[in-house]
Each structure stands twice: as C-alpha cells, then as structure tokens.
Amino acid sequence: MMTRRLLGAALLACACSGGSTTFTTPDNDVPPAFDVPTRDIARVDRGMTPEVVDLTDVPLLMDAGLSDGPCAARLTDTVTFGPTGGLVAFTMAYTVAPPRRFLLERTGRGGGTQRCETTIPACGEPGDVTTERLATALADADVAAAFAQASLDAGAVLYGRDDRPVDGSVFSIARNGREVLVGSPCRTGTGTCTDAPAGVQRLVDVLTALVDQESRRPACVAALGDAGA
C-alpha cells in the first residue's frame, strides 16, 4: 500500500512541474473552441451550382434588331415613304431599295428637285439603323396585315386621324402598289378612328430614325445645303 501511495505522489509531482499552459506556448496544438468563418465555407442557402446554364428560354431583344437567323445584310423590297399633305414649301420623299440603297428627294413648290443617295449600314453596326433593323421592322406581322388590308381598301389603309383637310399631314409607306397611311393618334370617343398597330408604329419610328441618320451623311448635307432634310 505504501508503494502505491509513493508512485501516485511522484506522478502528480511530474504533472505539475511543467507550469501552466497558455496560448503562447509553442507546444499548444489545441485549436480554439469556436469556428472561424473562411471564404472556403459553402453557402448552403444558395443551393447547388448548376453544371449547365440553359439559355434556350431567354427571349430575344427583337426591338434592338436582333434575330435568331442569319443577318439580313440586304433589303429585298423597294419602299417609298415620307410625310404627305399640308401646305409646305417643299415635299420630301424617301426610298429604300435593294441591296442597301437610300434615296432622298426634295422638291420645291416652284419645281426643281434636289437628291442625295447613300448606302445603309449593314449588320453589326451598333447604334445605327441597319439593314437588319429595317428588314425586321418591315417583316413584322402587323405590317404584313396592314398591307394586306390596304389591298382590300382600294390600295390604301389609314390608321389614326387624317389631318390633311386642315393643312396637316400623314406618314405614307408604299410598297408593291399598296399604301399604309399613319396619321395623328385617335381622339377618345372617335369610333371611326383606329390607331396604328404596334408593329406599324415601330416601322414608322425606324424609318424616321433612318431619315435622320442618312440625311446627316456628307452627300446629303452637300446636296441640301443649310435647309437640311
């Protein structure tokens, strides 16, 4: 019994002889008792990362002139357009034709016509009205329906108000012997007036932007002088 007591006392003395253990002790390999977040910890609330991104259901931005087919680098139809009517000092007529032709003609009331011709930018020109944007606008279903209706209405169909009787004007778009006219927005309560469908109005906007773009080309600036388009 005495031997066991002496052995226990010796072991206790050895355990206490090393001094107290601190965080600065080199031999301390015990990790802290709390978790330290790192950038490697997965964020489980975000779910699993997909292996394949499916873009088949992403809609195309058709208003920007994009399509899922080959770029329309050339036009296929001849279209004449511009304002018609009103008491003006000169009339303006514009024509687009294959492959990328733009023609501006200004005729004064007393006669004489000034002309300029430019080439419409092809595909891949950001910020410009290109053949791609123009072809997309012309191919819209609303535009096709409007020209089909024009064939039933003696070759012309009118959307909006016709202000020509009061010295106003309408926007004319003519193709293949048929004409679509777009006037001022209808007034509320006018049962006989029909506003232009979205696709037809978009075509008017694209053609108006094309005129503004091409009339600033050096050839047209030189032909028109200070009067502009």
Model confidence pLDDT, tens digit, residues 107-152: 887 778 899 999 999 887 677 899 999 999 999 999 999 999 998 8
The residue segments making up the domain with residue 172 are: 79-227
Closest by Cα among 70, 81, 185 to 143: 81
- Band of residue 31 on the pLDDT scale cut at 50, 70, 90: low
Mean pLDDT of 21-29: 48
Model confidence pLDDT, tens digit, residues 176-200: 999 999 999 998 766 689 999 999 9
Residue 173, CA distances (Å) to 68, 112, 130, 158, 177 in order:
27, 23, 18, 11, 10
How many C-beta atoms surround the C-beta of residue 182 within 10 A? 21
Does residue 70 fall inside a structural domain? no
- For all residues of the chain together, what is the average pLDDT? 77
Does residue 58 fall inside a structural domain? no
Confidence check: pLDDT of 11 > 50: no
Evaluate if pTM is beyond 0.85.
no
Q: What's the structural domain count of the chain?
A: 1
CATH classification at residue 128: 3.30.1560
For 13, how many CA atoms within 13 A lie in the half-sphere containing its CB? 6
Confidence check: pLDDT of 16 > 50: no
Check if the beta carbon of residue 123 is closer than 8 Å to that of residue 71: yes
Does residue 204 fall inside a structural domain? yes
Does residue 46 fall inside a structural domain? no
The CA distance from 108 to 91, in Å, is 7
